Structure 1
Amino acid sequence: MRHLLTNRQLSHTVPGMRIEIWADVVSGWAHVGKRRLEKALAGWQGEAVEVVWRPYQIDPSAPAGTLEAHRLIALAYEKGGAELQSRVLERVLHAHFVEVRDISDPAVLTEIATEAGLAEEAGHTGSGAAPQTPPGAELTRELLLIGKAKGVHTSPTIVVGDLALEGAQPPEAIRAFLEEASERTPRRLPAEVERLRHAESLLDQRDPLGALTLLRPLMREHGDDRGVRMLAARAYFGSAQLNRARTALESLVSESPDDSYARHLLGRTLQRQGRHEEAATHLALAATMTPDYAT
C-alpha cells in the first residue's frame, strides 16, 4: 500500500534523496526489506541517496522490548551519520537473527556500542548514584511519535519525502517506488510547522500526551505563537490537565474574545471542573458566534 506522508528532516542535512526505513529490529520482514532495498539500490544511477533507519515497535508493551536497541541505533545516526548507523544496525540484526542473543539485554547492547565507539554516549547512568536519562532517549521517543503521527503502522515502511511503501516489497517494486520518488520535488516545510502538524495528528489519534511531547520544544521557543498555545490547550484538555487547559484558554479568550472555538473549549473545560455557571456563559457566547456549538 502506498500513501502520502509528511517528511521531517532530523539532524544531518545531506544532498540527494533520503530513504527512511521505519521498522522494528526484531521483525523478520524488516530484515528482509532492508536486504531487498539494498538490491534495489545496486547500480542505482539516480541522485545520491542516504538510507536512515527509524524506530517502530510492533508491540511496545512486550516485556523484552526493543526500545533500547532503537535508542542505540538512533544515537549512532546522531553521532556518525548513516554510515555509523548502518554498522550498528547490522550488528544488532546479526546479534538477534544469527547469534540469537537478547538485544534487550543492556550487556549485549553495551558490547555493540563499545565496538562502534559509542560506549560512553550509550551509557544508562551518569557518574553519580542517581540514574540519568540515557543519551538519545528523548530523540527515540520523539521519533516513535513522529512515526505514529505520519501513519506508520507496518514494519517495514520505506519513506521518501511524502511517499511511503509498506511491507518488504520485491526489489523491482522498491526500485520503481524510488524512481517515482526521485522524480517528485516535495515541498519542504519549516521544521516548526511539521512538528506542529505531527502534534495535531497525534491529537486526532487521541494521543494528547504524545502531542504535548512534540509540542514541548515549540512551547519553549515559540511560546507566544497562538497556534502553538491553542494546540497545547487542546492537548491539556484531552489529557485531563484541566487547570492548565483553563489557564491557557482564558489567556487565548482574553486576547481574542471573538474566537468561538477557544471560548467553547474553555466552557467545556469549566464544565468538567464543575464550574457550571462560568461554563454556561462561555458556551452560550460560543454558540451565538458559531451556531454549530449549540448542538
Structure 2
Amino acid sequence: MRVEIWSDIACPWCYVGKARFEKGLAGFAHRDDVEVVHRSFELDPGRAKGDTELVIDMLAQKYGRSPEQARGMEASVAANAQAEGLGYRADGRDHGSTFDIHRLLHLAKARGRQDELLTRVYRANFAEERSVFDDAVLADLAVEAGLDADEARAVLADPGAYADGVRADEREAAELGADAVPFFVLDRRYGISGGQPAEVFAQALEQAWKDREAPGLTPVGGDAAACDADGACDVDRSEASDQPV
C-alpha cells in the first residue's frame, strides 16, 4: 500500500502532521508493506530565491497583527509540536522560498533517502538554529541524510534540476483537489487533510488496507489544522477565519 504526503517545509502543520502520521503507522500491523512517498507543495511559490524574512515579521504583515500577537500565534503551534515530542522555536525562524528544498527532496527520493532528508530539514527549520534557505546548510543536511555532497551541491546550483518533478507534484495536488497541506492520500482511495490525530491515521490505514479494491478518493477525518494554498496556517480548520498561525 502506498501513502503519498503533499507537504511544504514552511508549513508547521506538515511538521506536526508527519509526526502524528508516523505514530499512527507505527501501530499498523502491515506497516512494513506501506510505501511512504513525499510530494511537493509550495505555500509561497511566488517568493524569489534569497528573499527571506523572519517568520514573526511575515505573520504580522500577512495577518495584520502586532509582533506580540504573531509570537502568540507561533507559540500556539509550538505547544502542539511539543505535545508530539518535537522541538519548535517560536521566534527567530526564517521564511523563504522552498522550491530548492523540494528539488533536493526529489534527488533524495531518487537515491532512496527522501524521508531521511525531510526529517532533517524539518528539524533544522523548526527546532534548530539553522536556516534551510541557505544552500550551504541544505548541502550539509543532504550529507547528513546520506546523499553525496557534490551531487547535492550540483542540484542546488542548477535551477532546472528536478524542477519538472516539483511542478508535476503540484499539478497532481490540484487535480486531486488538495488546497491545503499536509494532504495524505492512501492508496489513491482515501484522502486526509490536515494534521489529524494519530488515531485518525491509524483508523484510515486499517480501512484502506481492507478496501484496497475500492475505486475513488474518499475523505477521512474531519477538519484539522493545515496550511492552505495561500500560505495561511490554521490552529483549527474549523476556526480558520480568525485563528491562523
How far residue 180 of structure 1 moved from its aligned partner, in angstroms, is 1.5
Structure 1 equivalent of residue 108 of structure 2: 76
Q: Is 2:212 the partner of 1:185?
A: yes
| Cα shift readout 1:40-94 (whole Å, capped 9, x = no counterpart) | 01231136111111111122123421111111112111122xxx11111111011
Structure 2 equivalent of residue 40 of structure 1: 24
Q: Is 2:24 the partner of 1:24?
A: no
1:92-131 equivalences in 2 (<5 Å):
92-115=121-144, 116-124=146-154
Structure 2 equivalent of residue 159 of structure 1: 185
Structure 2: gaps spanning 5 or more residues: 52-95, 216-245
SS in 2 for 1:51: strand
Aligned residues: 166
Contact 2:108 2:147 in 1 (8 A): no
Q: 1:68 to 1:45 in 2, by over 3 A?
A: same
Which structure has the greater CA radius of gyration?
1
1:1-295 equivalences in 2 (<5 Å):
17-46=1-30, 48-62=33-47, 63=51, 64-80=96-112, 84-115=113-144, 116-124=146-154, 132-160=158-186, 161-186=188-213
Aligned mates of 1:186, 1:137 — CA distance in 2: 33
How far residue 186 of structure 1 moved from its aligned partner, in angstroms, is 4.6
Identity between Structure 1 and Structure 2 (%): 36
Aligned mates of 1:38, 1:49 — CA distance in 2: 11
Contact 2:155 2:161 in 1 (8 A): no
Structure (1 or 2) with the greater helix fraction: 1
Which TM-score applies when normalising by structure 1? 0.51
Contact 1:122 1:135 in 2 (8 A): no
| Cα shift readout 1:99-120 (whole Å, capped 9, x = no counterpart) | 1422121111111223322323
Aligned partner of 2:197: which letter? Answer: P
Aligned partner of 1:69: which letter? Answer: I
Aligned partner of 2:163: which letter? Answer: A
Structure 2 equivalent of residue 269 of structure 1: none
**Alignment RMSD, CA only?**
2.4
Aligned mates of 2:107, 2:185 — CA distance in 1: 20
Contact 1:124 1:134 in 2 (8 A): no
Structure 1: gaps spanning 5 or more residues: 1-16, 189-295
* Greater RCO (CA < 8 Å, at least 6 residues apart): 2
Contact 2:104 2:155 in 1 (8 A): no
